[in-house]
Structure 1
Amino acid sequence: MSEYSPPRLSRLLHALPHINVTLHRVNDTFAPNSPVYVESLGILASIPGAWLILTLLVLLVYLLSRCCDRKQRPPHCITALKVRTSVFQGLGILASIPGAWLILTLLVLLVYLLSRCCDRKQRPPHCITALKVTLMILSVLCCGAIGVGLFGNDDLHNAVLQSIQAGNQLAALVNTVKNQSSILEEAMGSRARAPLTRLADALDAPVANQTALGTLLRALSSLRNNATIAAAAADNLRRPLVALNLDDFMKRVWVWEAMRWAGGMAGWCLGGAVCVALLAAAARRSRRALVLLAVGALCALVACWLAAALLTCAAVALADACQDPASAVAQHAPHRLPPDMVHYYLACVVSRENVLTSEQRSSHRAVVAVRQALGTLAHQAPLLFNDPGLQPALGALGAGTGEAERALAALNGALECRTARAHFAPAARALCDAGLQALTLQLVAAVAAGFLFTAIVLVDSHAWIYINTKRAGTGEERAPFLSVNSSSTLPRPPPRAPAAPATNGNPPSYSAAVQLMELATERTSFSIPATGRARLSGTATLGRGAPGPAAAGGAHTLARAPHGKYATLSKQCKTLEANDFY
């Protein structure tokens, strides 16, 4: 008999406290039909859900506080900053309880410090680069966690396939019992009626030896009664197993497992695609892609924590069932068999009597009695009666008895509890050992991916907020990723003249220069005498101050060209070009 013992991991998960809503310990025996047990599993699964709610609140406060990172802050900025500071202080207090809180707090503080270095009017050149490097490192780590989840999903699939294979062997064993019991019932029932009738008619003929006739009649009666007993025992063997169809159940399990495996692979691959896309977006510094992927990372974060809740519930329930898998299947499997009978075959407790084995023994005794009575009839009846139908009847009864004996031999092996146990133990070991490890591996991967996606959302949101496409003149925002060549940056535009008349910071256009020249001419004609007006007939001063020696130097003057030509800037000012007119 193949022995089974609960693995260490199942004992560890089974030791987790099962509590109800009043925080009292409840029975940790696997009982999916018990509302109290299901409630305890739900409370364990609510831990990742509570962490998800807290994470979403932290992200909400963080994104609300980003509106305050401008030069002119709105009135509600201080309130948002106070709320964010309170949340960070609460995280610092809670971080002393488990190590996971400490890790998340350190990541949040890292992102916060990185964001503080960018909250100045003149951001350092390495600010965006640090955010991009941090985002790429987090994306690579998240890809690793997702790879662990893919590995665990595939391992769980293999474990379930091994259990399905063992279940198919059990289904074949059940089909053997049903088929052989049907053969036994038919051989001792319907097929034996006609030979028994012909044999009784042959024995009705008058004979002189009444003693021998009495022996033959008693043998015929024993054969008939024992054949009836064997047929009834075979029917009792087959009747409880008629409603049990393990073949269809195993097919449904295989379909469910195929859907679960495909869904798990698709989910993990989508998370990996988000991480790879984040790598590409960080390298190219695409603001739109980072905004879209921040939303994708937020959805992946929610999916990871929801998957962690489901995996927690499934892992703890499987660990509870693995403490005594025979009892779990006997009590809660979808079958209509008596639980004692199922537990007898799966646990193989040989000290207990079983209904099927008792019926098998009864049919075996009846078939042995039929063989003895048939031997007596076959030895003495041909000596007393010369009936041509006697030998065919005895031959048909002998063939049916032989078929019944072969069916009983097959039933003896199929109804042996060690045979069923030998098929059930590998299935239980595959699920409780490799399957539970794969579930736990996926749980760890989902939790790690949830933490990493949280940090990715923080860094990504901070990155795309500070990548402003309208500020095209800043060199470090237009530079390629990790570029050290100064030639790759855009050239800084030349400084404008300090006394430029333009009020909006744009270079002067030709039409503006003409207007300003005419305005200066009119002002001069009203403010200086005729001699000064004649002196300034060739030039017009542009500026707010009065004309003087500095103005006469021509640093910011427009000269009126003779013979009606257009005015141009003086030689110390920038010459207007075609691209300056817009």
Structure 2
Amino acid sequence: MAVSSTDNIEYHPTVLAQLLHSLPHLNVSCHRVNSTFNPQSDIYLESLGILSSIPAAWLILTLAALLLYLATRCCDQHSTRRKPRSLTAPRLALAAAALLCAAATGLGLYANDDLHNGIVQSLTSARNLNNIISNVRNQTKIISTSLTDAVFPQLTELSDIFDNPVANQTALAQLVDALQSVRQNNTLAIRATADIQRPLANLDMSHIINTGDRWELYRWAGAMGILSGLLALCAVVLVGAARRSRRCLVLASVLALVSAAIAWLLSSVGLAAAVALADLCVGPEQYAGSVVSQKGLPPELLYYYTRCESVRANPFTQRLRESQQALNRMRVSLGSVSKIALDLFKNRDLQPKLSALTIEANSCDRGLASLTALLDCRAIHAQWMAGTRGLCVSALPGLALLLLATATAGLLLSILVCLASHTWIYLRKRRDYSQVDETDPFLPAPAASQAVAARTLQGGMAGAGTLPRGPPHHHRSQGDGCDTSRHTPETRLASSGGHLAHLSGSHSHHRGGHSTLGRLPSHASHHDHHINLTGPNNGKYATLSKQCKTLESSDFY
């Protein structure tokens, strides 16, 4: 950075601006074109369009890859045979990708804020600069109007008064010469003031500034909405991965695919805008010179205000000096006119007219002093530097960071689509335990118990029709309410289930120390067992008393 004679820090292109400016600007025939910022050139705009097509081409390739991946997943015949435990790694990877995407989105929000602040600062400086130029135009217009509409008519009226005959012709000749000097100096002041106003007549940036404010408001709000939507999408992905929610993951897959397309399109636009802004920041004076030359402003005038070097004189200094000298001579001549006219003529309207002319001349002189301060380079140069720094030091890094964030988010969203699709495609609903294999090593113990119970219940109901209608035989030990050692797991399960109310004929018959469950022969003799037909159900159904052991899942293994 260098310091000028006016103690203002001069602007020099940043490393980022030079780096983006060095990117090749090619036309459709792959030939390099001039990289100077020139939005009026079709060739320059064509080179920016080719640069912006790089992210768009990547988007097309990404969508094709995602389509191919989803097609292969839909045709996978082994998707329903995957074990739930195999989805742990994809879920963790999905959560990690969602967190990284949220971090990239947060970086984009920060970059969008920097970009907005830089653009606002530049527009504010442009508005202040436009106000200074408008004040110069208004001040010159006030001086010119005062000299033209207020002084000239009164000089004409004085000429009519001085046409009256007087005795002292010598004094009258001196009076006429002084009045003619006032008229000539007034004309010179008007011309000099018009020369100052002429180059600034068409230099009005109000429409451009208002349009920039409106578009920046839309851009900032749109970027905030898109980035906030990406954060909400990351939250949906995290919820779906944590809760194994199939609906959340399907929704996240669709939204991530749409968001990836939007992110890459934003990257395409951001790359073209970043390169164009870098081209502008490398030589802002060149583009400003091309613009003001179309408005009729001399190039040396722009160079003076953008550099503000003390060795260079103000281009308006000569015209300002001419106007001031003309007004000074006019006031001197007005003094002579007043002195001679009041001695020669006794007109009562003479004194008010001479006083009004003196007041107008003094007012124009003060206006010229204010105009000289407005045309000083220091105020305009300060606004120029503030606007340039806001656009090239604050807005350009913010735009580059936003470009990086959107490109990273687009890449991560493409990965999210694959991971979310892989997860919800292989994510099965809760299994029906009546149809599972109880030897499944991944089946939990309670589920295995319910599976065995359901299988046994179905087998018991199928054999109930072959059982005799007679009362069952119950073998009870003498010292206990029920003999749990003589019940097989199937008998315990049949006694404990609430669906065995209609199951009859279950017997425990011991032959050679083995327990069997099934139909008993009608002619079986019971010499060694005491038959007890009394009980809670009058001996009709087999039950377990309150003293029996509670069934647990470990009883079936």
- The equivalences for 1:316-465 within 5 A come to 316-332=275-291, 336-338=295-297, 340=299, 343-344=302-303, 346-348=305-307, 359-465=319-425
Letter in 1 for 2:284: P
CA contact (8 A) 2:466 2:519 kept: no
CA contact (8 A) 2:132 2:380 kept: yes
CA contact (8 A) 2:293 2:299 kept: no
Instruction: Provide, for residues 409-457 of structure 1, a one-character-per-residue CA deviation record: whole Å limited to 9, x for no partner.
Output: 1111222333311211111111100110100110111111111111111
User: 1 CA distance for matches of 2:109 and 2:150?
Assistant: 59
User: 1 CA distance for matches of 2:53 and 2:365?
Assistant: 59
Q: Which SS does the other structure have where 1:205 is aligned?
A: coil
Residue ranges of structure 2 left out of the alignment (5+ in a row): 1-5, 436-441, 468-513, 524-539, 544-557
User: 1 CA distance for matches of 2:466 and 2:300?
Assistant: 107
Instruction: Provide, for residues 510-552 of structure 1, a one-character-per-residue CA deviation record: whole Å limited to 9, x for no partner.
Output: 5x668999xxxxxxxxxxxxxxxxxxxxxxxxxxxxxxxxxxx
TM-score, normalised via structure 2 length: 0.75
The structural deviation recorded for 1:392 is: 1.6
User: 2 CA distance for matches of 1:211 and 1:35?
Assistant: 74
Instruction: Provide, for residues 234-271 of structure 1, a one-character-per-residue CA deviation record: whole Å limited to 9, x for no partner.
Output: 34544554554444543332222222111111110000
Could you say if the C-alpha distance between residues 262 and 209 of structure 1 is closer, same or farther in structure 2, counting changes exceeding 3 Å? same
User: 1 CA distance for matches of 2:82 and 2:465?
Assistant: 37
CA contact (8 A) 1:556 1:570 kept: no
Instruction: Provide, for residues 109-166 of structure 1, a one-character-per-residue CA deviation record: whole Å limited to 9, x for no partner.
Output: xxxxxxxxxx69453x531111111111111111100000000011111112211221
The structural deviation recorded for 1:459 is: 0.6
The structural deviation recorded for 1:360 is: 4.0
User: 1 CA distance for matches of 2:522 and 2:257?
Assistant: 66
Q: Which has the larger radius of gyration?
A: 2
CA contact (8 A) 2:107 2:405 kept: yes
User: 1 CA distance for matches of 2:85 and 2:13?
Assistant: 55
Identity of aligned residues (%): 38
Could you tell me which of 99, 103, 115 is aligned with 1:156? Answer: 115
Q: Paired residue for 1:191?
A: 150
Could you tell me which of 164, 172, 176 is aligned with 1:217? Answer: 176
Could you tell me which of 39, 43, 60 is aligned with 1:32? Answer: 39
Q: Paired residue for 1:307?
A: 266
CA contact (8 A) 2:233 2:255 kept: yes
Could you tell me which of 139, 142, 150 is aligned with 2:101? Answer: 142
Could you say if the C-alpha distance between residues 470 and 212 of structure 1 is closer, same or farther in structure 2, counting changes exceeding 3 Å? same
User: 1 CA distance for matches of 2:55 and 2:282?
Assistant: 25
- The equivalences for 1:495-534 within 5 A come to 507=458, 510=461
User: 2 CA distance for matches of 1:561 and 1:68?
Assistant: 60
User: 1 CA distance for matches of 2:221 and 2:294?
Assistant: 28
Structure 1 outlier segments of 4+, above 6 Å: 349-355, 484-487, 514-517, 553-562, 568-571
Letter in 2 for 1:424: W
Letter in 1 for 2:356: A
Q: Paired residue for 1:287?
A: 246
- Whether 2:165 is the aligned partner of 1:206: answer yes
TM-score, normalised via structure 1 length: 0.72
**407-416 vs 138-147, which deviates more?**
407-416
Letter in 2 for 1:447: A
Instruction: Provide, for residues 4-53 of structure 1, a one-character-per-residue CA deviation record: whole Å limited to 9, x for no partner.
Output: 21122111111111111222111110001111111111111111111111
RMSD between aligned alpha carbons? 3.6
**464-473 vs 427-436, which deviates more?**
464-473
CA contact (8 A) 1:559 1:570 kept: no
CA contact (8 A) 1:14 1:316 kept: yes
Could you say if the C-alpha distance between residues 473 and 428 of structure 1 is closer, same or farther in structure 2, counting changes exceeding 3 Å? farther
CA contact (8 A) 1:10 1:323 kept: yes
Could you say if the C-alpha distance between residues 348 and 225 of structure 1 is closer, same or farther in structure 2, counting changes exceeding 3 Å? farther
Could you tell me which of 45, 48, 60 is aligned with 1:53? Answer: 60
Q: Paired residue for 1:4?
A: 11
Could you say if the C-alpha distance between residues 497 and 191 of structure 1 is closer, same or farther in structure 2, counting changes exceeding 3 Å? closer
Q: Paired residue for 2:551?
A: none
The structural deviation recorded for 1:216 is: 2.1
Letter in 2 for 1:12: L
Letter in 1 for 2:34: N
Q: Paired residue for 1:77?
A: none
User: 2 CA distance for matches of 1:334 and 1:249?
Assistant: 17
Q: Which SS does the other structure have where 1:24 is aligned?
A: coil
User: 2 CA distance for matches of 1:516 and 1:364?
Assistant: 130
Q: Paired residue for 2:486?
A: none
Could you say if the C-alpha distance between residues 515 and 325 of structure 1 is closer, same or farther in structure 2, counting changes exceeding 3 Å? farther
Letter in 1 for 2:64: L
Q: Paired residue for 2:135?
A: 176
User: 2 CA distance for matches of 1:508 and 1:233?
Assistant: 116
Q: Which SS does the other structure have where 2:270 is aligned?
A: helix
CA contact (8 A) 1:219 1:373 kept: yes
Letter in 1 for 2:381: R
Could you say if the C-alpha distance between residues 409 and 486 of structure 1 is closer, same or farther in structure 2, counting changes exceeding 3 Å? farther
The structural deviation recorded for 1:341 is: 6.9
Letter in 2 for 1:432: C
State how many pairs are aligned: 467
User: 1 CA distance for matches of 2:427 and 2:466?
Assistant: 39
Letter in 1 for 2:255: G
Could you say if the C-alpha distance between residues 168 and 485 of structure 1 is closer, same or farther in structure 2, counting changes exceeding 3 Å? farther
The structural deviation recorded for 1:387 is: 3.0
Could you say if the C-alpha distance between residues 556 and 349 of structure 1 is closer, same or farther in structure 2, counting changes exceeding 3 Å? same
Q: Paired residue for 2:188?
A: 229
Q: Paired residue for 1:260?
A: 219
Q: Which SS does the other structure have where 1:189 is aligned?
A: helix
Could you say if the C-alpha distance between residues 331 and 59 of structure 1 is closer, same or farther in structure 2, counting changes exceeding 3 Å? same
CA contact (8 A) 1:301 1:450 kept: yes
The structural deviation recorded for 1:464 is: 0.3
CA contact (8 A) 2:107 2:402 kept: yes
Letter in 1 for 2:18: R
Instruction: Provide, for residues 388-425 of structure 1, a one-character-per-residue CA deviation record: whole Å limited to 9, x for no partner.
Output: 33222211111111111111111112223333112111
